[in-house]
Chain A
Amino acid sequence: MKRDPLDQLRLVTEPVAPGLEFADELEGRMRRALDVLLVPLSGVREGEAVMQTRVIEPAVTSGVAYEDVGRAVRWLTEILGLRVARHWGPQDQPIFAYLAWRTEILSVWVRPTDNPWSEVGPVSIGLLADEQTVESAYERAVAAGADVVRPLRVEANPAVPEGYLGFSLRDPEGNLWSMYTRGPRFEVVNEEGEAR
């Protein structure tokens, strides 16, 4: 086969350091954009926001009432991997906490005794994650002896016919928490007819 003379143009790229000022400026831009710091409950002062530049603005949020919020927060962070965004009350026994999951925020609080929320029974909440995250959380749940109500498995339904991987747990106060791989994407049309 005849060799193409233009193959002689092949370039072996050598690393080239750009100017220090440019390198520092770009690193600064990256660090500011990546300054996500959702830290575990320990080490967070009461009422202190621990999310720095990353702002989560959920349009819908859920809340779960617990008799023992401290135990619930430990269970949700250590097993499922939620992160504490902000809390009020003692570190080990908060009365209210916001927990972050990717783009969403859930709240947990001490079950009241004198308003309609005192009657709310166990709830069911689903968390979406990638496959590796789902598998890791399930391993932690089993290792911690969590109450598994649906073991890790692939299931399918009419909405997700290609199937998804997931599992479900019952938390110490009877709420059901499921984690599964992403389901279908939805495109919703608003009143102006623009997809959003």
Chain B
Amino acid sequence: MIEEAGVRSLADELLELYPAALPQVYGFLLARCGDQALAEDLTAETFMDAVSAVQKASVETITVGWLIVVARRRLIDHWRRLERERRSLRLISHDADQTTDPWDEVIDVEAARSALERVGPTHRAVLTLRYLDGLSVPEVAHLIERSVHATEGLLQRARVALRRAYEEGGLPRDEA
């Protein structure tokens, strides 16, 4: 806990960090969600989370790294909301289980990233965390609040779903 002078100081620190941190946070989110309006919403939520942390004096310092961690959680929350709305995971998982996962040694990265926009929110979340962010399976499991074993299974199904979207090609979801 931090007394008033500390709160003031951390508030200054956050506002001073803002101009440099904003493009980092926004760039991180935009690259992963591909939607400008959504990236702005999540960026705003991330910085207001930082404000809240300063007000509650629940942090001792705020860095770009700290903001990126919060941004990633916000993105995961967004995908969770989408998943709840769509209720499609069960169907996608079931279908995906019927397909194998034969990825070539060399893939068309742009096409694969485009395909990522067409898979379900939960699959997109784990694939983004695992492959775009390069997190380990246990780290992904921690972030999505599942067991490592369940996350491995989910990742496998997500890879199959991505493979299917990759082969089918087409426009990103938002443009279709």
- Measured between alpha carbons, how far is A127 from B6 in the docked complex, in Å? 15
Are A102 and B26 interface neighbours, CB within 8 A?
no
B106 within 8 A of A: yes
**A136–chain B nearest beta-carbon distance, Å:** 9
- Measured between alpha carbons, how far is A100 from B22 in the docked complex, in Å? 32
Query: Which bracket fits the contact residues of B?
Result: 35 or more
Are A83 and B5 interface neighbours, CB within 8 A?
yes
Interface residues of A in 1-52 (CB under 8 A from B): 3-11, 13-19, 22-23, 26-27, 29-31, 33-34, 36-38
**A55–chain B nearest beta-carbon distance, Å:** 11
A101 within 8 A of B: yes
A residues in contact with B36, CB < 8 Å: 18
Are B103 and A13 interface neighbours, CB within 8 A?
no
Query: Which bracket fits the contact residues of A?
Result: 35 or more
Are A27 and B4 interface neighbours, CB within 8 A?
no
Contacts A17-B23, A130-B60; A8 near B109 (Cβ below 8 A): yes
Are A13 and B18 interface neighbours, CB within 8 A?
no
A residues in contact with B1, CB < 8 Å: 102, 128-130, 133, 182
Interface residues of B in 1-20 (CB under 8 A from A): 1-8, 11, 14-15, 18
Are A101 and B55 interface neighbours, CB within 8 A?
no
Contacts A83-B5, A129-B3, A133-B6; A9 near B44 (Cβ below 8 A): no
A163 within 8 A of B: no
Contact of B47 among A30, A54, A82 (CB under 8 A): A30
Residue in chain B with minimal CB distance to A16: B27
- Measured between alpha carbons, how far is A101 from B1 in the docked complex, in Å? 11
A113 within 8 A of B: no
A190 within 8 A of B: no
- Measured between alpha carbons, how far is A129 from B116 in the docked complex, in Å? 47
- Measured between alpha carbons, how far is A109 from B44 in the docked complex, in Å? 44
Are A6 and B3 interface neighbours, CB within 8 A?
no
A61 within 8 A of B: no
- Measured between alpha carbons, how far is A31 from B23 in the docked complex, in Å? 18
Contacts A10-B134, A15-B27; A34 near B107 (Cβ below 8 A): no
B40-63 contact mask (Cβ, 8 Å, vs A): 1 or 0: 100110011001001101001000
B161 within 8 A of A: no
B143 within 8 A of A: no
- Measured between alpha carbons, how far is A13 from B75 in the docked complex, in Å? 15
A157 within 8 A of B: no
Interface residues of A in 70-91 (CB under 8 A from B): 81-83
A141-184 contact mask (Cβ, 8 Å, vs B): 1 or 0: 00000000000000000000000000000000000000000100
B residues in contact with A15, CB < 8 Å: 23-24, 26-27
Q: Which residues of B contact A (CB under 8 A)?
A: 1-8, 11, 14-15, 18, 22-24, 26-28, 30-32, 36, 39-40, 43-44, 47-48, 51, 54-55, 57, 60, 103-107, 109, 112-113, 116, 127, 130-134, 159, 162
Inter-chain pairs besides A18-B22, A36-B7, 11 sampled, C-beta below 8 Å: A8-B112, A9-B107, A9-B112, A10-B131, A17-B26, A18-B23, A30-B15, A30-B48, A101-B3, A129-B1, A130-B57
Pairs A–B under 8 Å by Cβ, sample size 12: A3-B105, A4-B103, A8-B106, A11-B32, A13-B24, A13-B28, A26-B22, A26-B44, A26-B47, A30-B15, A30-B18, A81-B4
